[in-house]
Chains A and B, each alone.
Chain A
């Protein structure tokens, strides 16, 4: 971050950037602006390094000092947002994921202008980003990238047994039976963790079901689609999986396929990437295929991440400049994505077929043609009550009850009562 002649900070490096900067931002004479950005420890460490690099170029080009802080996505992160909001002081920008913009709506700046520019260039933002960052008619955070779930399977085992690569959840059941007989069962967790919700959701959506309706108030879990979902899980549990899935953690399915046990799991690309990095025996046999569909479409869970600006920031315009710098220029955005090694993929329509997917033929399925991405709780808007339903793991608990002996009817009734209680309280 070298020193820059303050009068020259308006020097632009791209057409778009110049136009935006010339739109009336007064030169800050005698004042070097400084902004800070709090973001997560990226799953791909190179991505963090690349971000720092881009940040330094930003400072050189615009004269705005940029401080990037990192935070773990676990414990510390929750207090961080809370404490910044309470003290009305902290970073200018924060990286948010999924529905966080809903939780902090009153504290976030309206960034619809920035998003509109990006959408004009790159096409509309994906459905999940829209659901997560577009709150009550206003964009409260700028969609950045996402990591999505995808089917991860042992291609070598499938080939050996001449199994057909499934395209629907029903087809998964058919191959799953064979896989279990081979000693490589399907691995879908049914326990209190996010992986469980991330599979239960798509299955439910693919059958046309939902937890809470679009209005955010009506509980719709008691429906034929839910019955179908539960029946599907029951037969999967009985014929294609082993009871250990009832006590799995978020890492268990990764470890199971990396270890050579599971034949098929539903997971982001992390399982494969880590197997590659650790040079495990199974790495060569793992591949991905497109997310599965059902009678009501092809739905999938993903974890979009967006950048939000706190209202209390004193550098809102400068923050927007940074966001535009990082995401607004195609080359920079691409650079940033490439550093993420397929962990982070762009969330705008026209960028779906991204070069990073070609760095390894096994990333082809991540292109997600015809897949609709949603975050937890879809289609209900992500109010804090709906998020509490998700965080109380009602959906996986309902399924766990059903596969371990409770009748389908009773399990659904229990889930309905719990969800209604939360919406009422």
Chain B
């Protein structure tokens, strides 16, 4: 049956012609498409693209709260490198992201493999595993803040009780490397479910026959994992890692609540330093410049995603 074009449908009499014309006009793909996409585009242009340009403008000026601003070129970007705090932040961002994503990846794959098996209470277990990701990060980080408290830390109490720590146990949030360990732990705790469940979905999609054939050929569990599972997981792993890198690199909540960037800037990330400089000190220009250092990584991830992964998407 031949498809009938929308504008060939007879218009019933008595209907006002403009409305009918509008409807048929709207029915064309080339018109309806842009119309339906417009609200989204408008929103994103006005509230994402435009502010992004503004951030660029701020970073190139000496904007300060409540005072007129002047263009100063790239002085902010250069000046930042003189600052101890910024150099530390730059290092922190990569250390934090690198370690956290690595942990999430390895633990995520392990957890997904376990979840893929036949389980009792499957639904409850999956629910429990996903819980940290669902609960608002700011609120769950409060719980971790208490858990790492210098005097009352339950982590220390448990460590001492089990004999793995000497009393009184480290001051997690007050000492350089321990603080980084603490924020990484919370980030991994919060992000692991995302990795695990997503990888699990991909695991489920791997046809059993592949494994059965390999087993028949004499491959043991180890070999099956490295030669079948991992290669087939690669596309999903790439997506998840790239997404996670962006969100971990630009994280704000955890560091802000747990350490506020301390001790001595050893846990500051671009987001928290940007807020401190921009809103607490008042130097909006410098704050914007700090946040724009996120951009290169963002651009790289977007490029990587678009090039390697978006084959099926659009």
Contacts and interface: CB of A to CB of B under 8 A. Distances in A.
**Direct touch of chains A and B (CB < 8 A):** yes
Contact of A248 (B65, B84, B150, B168): B150
Given A247-B175, A249-B174, A256-B151, A397 B264 contact: yes
Contact of B279 (A79, A107, A249): A79
Contact of A259 (B151, B175, B282): B151
Nearest to A400: B264
Interface string B113-144: 00000000000000000000000000000000
Contacts of A397: 264
Given A85-B66, A192-B264, A397-B264, A392 B85 contact: yes
Contact of B82 (A81, A255, A421): A421
Contact of B263 (A107, A191, A244): A191
Contacts of B151: 252, 255-256, 259
Interface in B167-218: 168, 171, 173-175
Nearest to B171: A247
Contacts of A193: 262
A82 B63 CA distance: 12
A384 interface: yes
A247 B173 CA distance: 7
B37 to A, nearest CB: 33
B307 interface: no
A418 B67 CA distance: 25
A247 B262 CA distance: 10
Contacts of B7: none
B66 A107 contact: yes
B280 interface: yes
B65 A82 contact: yes
Interface residues of A, number: 33
B66 A106 contact: yes
B79 interface: yes
A393 B261 CA distance: 13
B79 A425 contact: yes
Contacts of A86: 65-66
Interface string A189-225: 0011100000000000000000000000000000000
A246 B174 contact: yes
B49 interface: no
Interface SS of B by simple majority: loop
A160 to B, nearest CB: 23
B292 to A, nearest CB: 19
A421 B85 CA distance: 13
A79 B67 CA distance: 15
Interface in A349-401: 384, 388, 391-393, 397, 400
B283 to A, nearest CB: 9
A82 B279 contact: yes
B95 interface: no
B230 interface: no
Contacts of B74: none
Contacts of B265: 192
A247 B263 contact: yes
B281 interface: yes
Contacts of B150: 244, 247-249, 252, 255
A289 B45 CA distance: 62
B85 A249 contact: no
Contacts of B64: 384
A86 B264 CA distance: 31
Contacts of B84: 418
A84 to B, nearest CB: 9
A425 B282 CA distance: 14
Contacts of A103: 65, 282
Given A103-B282, A247-B263, 16 more contacts: A81-B65, A85-B65, A86-B66, A103-B65, A106-B66, A106-B67, A191-B264, A248-B171, A249-B150, A255-B150, A259-B151, A384-B64, A391-B280, A391-B281, A392-B85, A421-B82
10 contacts: A78-B279, A82-B65, A82-B279, A244-B174, A247-B150, A247-B171, A247-B173, A248-B174, A418-B84, A421-B82
Interface of B: 64-67, 79, 82, 84-85, 150-151, 168, 171, 173-175, 256, 262-265, 279-282
Interface of A: 75, 78-79, 81-82, 85-86, 103-104, 106-107, 191-193, 244, 246-249, 252, 255-256, 259, 384, 388, 391-393, 397, 400, 418, 421, 425
